[in-house]
């Protein structure tokens, strides 16, 4: 996506949906503006989501829409952002936006932030006097870490920047403020010639990438850090765990030492943007055979078969735009607590 020095773009401008959903109505992309003195610009008071809509033979389909929107609502609740929008309303808005975009595939970005009451402006840290604004935009976004990364993998480093401690900033919330930490991790990696960085938690255990969860393969066992390692409860992470269960692959959620990254048979990232991306080296130490490993490939193959609509998912994961009944559509419920319970069940079953 960027040159090795991390400063120059080397990608084409993406196709962008020319309308944006804003507080219940659609407005032109160019009209989606905020005041320079908005609370969010000064204090990072926003929460957001990243959701992919895939091209399938049955038309565009949004991947795990309801689960993403539920996490969006969870993030808002954590940050005491009391808004009027329901799960169904935000799902319907996302569906309508994709329809209006006329794109077969796209990336959907809901965002909720504290704006500015221009008649009665408030400028302090206290967020409560500031009104909330909700927007949903969409654009066509390719492979986050590059097209070749899906097969060849990427070179990464362990960052000198740690993930935030759970009681200083809630990693469970997908908030804009958290991504200042992500930017430090990403910039350091790019400027040192890597595609991505891996952060450790405050105890020195592996946490996640700047915008991705991480999985480690040793033998025939797949490991991933627990939520207590200051990770975002990833929807794609949850999908990988369920895919592994379907494939009969043992998954264990446990703390992972940094050194384990160097001796792993396989490593891969998961995330809405990164999807399933293999890691071929860490700190210039080759991982396994230096490319996509067989278990990663098997998981990746199943994931893309599901997102293309070629194979049934473990749950109701695809919302087909051309067939959607909007608010009556169902999805598989997702919550951090449910994920920990489910993962624990897998571990017990596999022990």
Which positions are annotated as active-site residues?
A: 174
Residue 333's region, left for phi above 0, alpha for psi from -120 to 50, else beta, is: beta
Strands 154-158 and 196-200: parallel
The token pair at 244 is 């592994």
Are the C-beta atoms of residues 107 and 271 closer than 8 Å to each other? no
Strands, E, within the chain: which ranges?
A: 19-22, 25-28, 46-48, 51-56, 59-63, 106-114, 132-139, 154-158, 196-200, 206-209, 213-218, 221-224, 250-253, 266-271, 275-282, 285-286, 318-320
315 and 242 Cβ atoms separated by less than 8 Å = yes
Q: DSSP for 102-128?
A: T-SSEEEEEEEEE---SSS---SS--T
CA–CA dist 53, 275 (Å, integer): 12
- What is the DSSP secondary structure assignment for residue 255, as one 8-state letter? -
């Amino acid at each position: 996506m960027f040159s090795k020095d991390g400063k120059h773009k080397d990608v084409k401008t993406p196709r962008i949906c020319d309308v944006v959903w804003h507080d219940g109505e659609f407005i032109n992309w160019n009209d989606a503006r905020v005041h320079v003195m908005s609370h969010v610009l000064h204090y990072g008071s926003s929460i957001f989501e990243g959701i992919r809509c895939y091209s399938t033979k049955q038309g565009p389909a949004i991947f795990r829409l309801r689960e993403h929107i539920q996490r969006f609502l969870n993030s808002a609740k954590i940050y005491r952002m009391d808004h009027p929008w329901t799960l169904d309303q935000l799902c319907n808005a996302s569906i309508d936006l994709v329809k209006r975009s006329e794109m077969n595939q796209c990336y959907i970005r809901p965002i909720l932030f504290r704006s500015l009451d221009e008649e009665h402006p408030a400028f302090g840290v206290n967020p409560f006097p500031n009104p909330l604004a909700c927007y949903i935009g969409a654009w066509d976004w390719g492979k986050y870490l590059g097209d070749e990364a899906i097969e060849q993998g990427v070179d990464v480093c362990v960052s000198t920047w740690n993930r935030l401690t759970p009681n200083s900033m809630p990693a469970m919330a997908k908030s804009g403020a958290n991504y200042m930490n992500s930017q430090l991790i990403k910039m350091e990696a790019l400027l040192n010639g890597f595609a991505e960085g891996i952060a450790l938690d405050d105890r020195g255990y592996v946490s996640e990438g700047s915008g991705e969860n991480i999985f480690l393969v040793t033998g025939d066992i797949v490991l991933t850090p627990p939520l207590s390692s200051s990770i975002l409860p990833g929807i794609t992470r949850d999908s990988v765990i369920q895919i592994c269960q379907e494939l009969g692959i043992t998954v264990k959620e446990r703390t992972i030492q940094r050194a384990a990254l160097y001796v792993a048979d396989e490593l891969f990232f998961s995330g809405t943007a990164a999807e399933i991306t293999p890691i071929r080296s860490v700190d210039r130490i080759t991982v396994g055979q230096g490319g996509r490993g067989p278990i990663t490939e098997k998981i990746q193959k199943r994931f893309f078969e599901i997102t293309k609509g070629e194979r049934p998912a473990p749950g109701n994961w695809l919302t087909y735009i051309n067939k959607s009944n909007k608010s009556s559509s169902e999805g598989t419920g997702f919550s951090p607590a449910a994920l920990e319970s489910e993962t624990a069940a897998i571990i017990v079953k596999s022990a």
